[in-house]
Structure 1
């Protein structure tokens, strides 16, 4: 018995197991389309609290989406440059952002790097809005999960690939 195994403590009987997910950036099947030159790789769906975590990749310069958050969002830039039309900062690798509930913005990839890769943690739904701020649609943990499940079925990864991401 090694030192680490003696120190481990069992989970309480009703606790959910940890989720450990290795992302294969080269396996295109794991990435669902989020629009032209935009890909999303979900990492975690928390169906009890209504939140999810994903990596968003975009190539080129342009608007990704315009939306409002009724719940907070955090983001961490892995590669590239991006920002919001409504703000004057530019996120670069290593930039962490916190968006409070109520934030409405237009996410776009900045041309400086020609791409972006960002880890986002959505603590609630996204309300898509038009240029006047009027809601045009929404996405929550269940609609996002359904889209990813359908994507994984269509590329041959199957339901088990998605099921392991749900807690």
Structure 2
């Protein structure tokens, strides 16, 4: 069987750079572990300082967020995610992420399927993020910083 020949891989966190999540924020950083064009999925770490608010966005696919450090919430919900919590976001949901002020920086593992559509105050789409835009951001960062990029489309690349 083909699946038996797929190698199990381990990605060293230190081998992947933190990339500024520009143009949305230069304070928010993303570490891209996997950018999967086949499944339209990204696996990333996100790091944000306390008190930062990101733009409202809409998900076309599901999202799983595991919080490693800090506390955050969505402006549209009452719950607060802290270290060790898992947030499951359904496809078709929209929300505005807030890193709570006065707390530690936020570090969260994100598994995102599909597009994130960033919205203005009238809920009109102003930008789209997905595996491809992540790859463009990662490659541009590597080029600007003279880093040899890894193949993030496949584990072990």
Match for residue 17 of structure 2? 30
CA contact (8 A) 1:69 1:127 kept: yes
**TM-score of the superposition, structure 1-length normalised?**
0.83
**Alpha-carbon separation, structure 2, partners of 1:90 and 1:64:** 16
Seen in structure 2, the aligned counterparts of structure 1 residues 137 and 15 have a Cα distance that, compared at 3 Å, is farther
Match for residue 109 of structure 1? 99
**Alpha-carbon separation, structure 2, partners of 1:64 and 1:155:** 25
Match for residue 120 of structure 2? 130
Quote the offset at 1:13 in angstroms. Answer: 7.6
> RMSD of the TM alignment (CA)?
1.9
Q: Report which of the two structures shows the higher radius of gyration computed on alpha carbons.
A: 1
Q: Give the alignment partner of residue 48 of structure 1, picking from 30, 33, 38.
A: 38
**TM-score of the superposition, structure 2-length normalised?**
0.88
Is 1:151 the counterpart of 2:141 in the alignment?
A: yes
Quote the offset at 1:132 in angstroms. Answer: 2.1
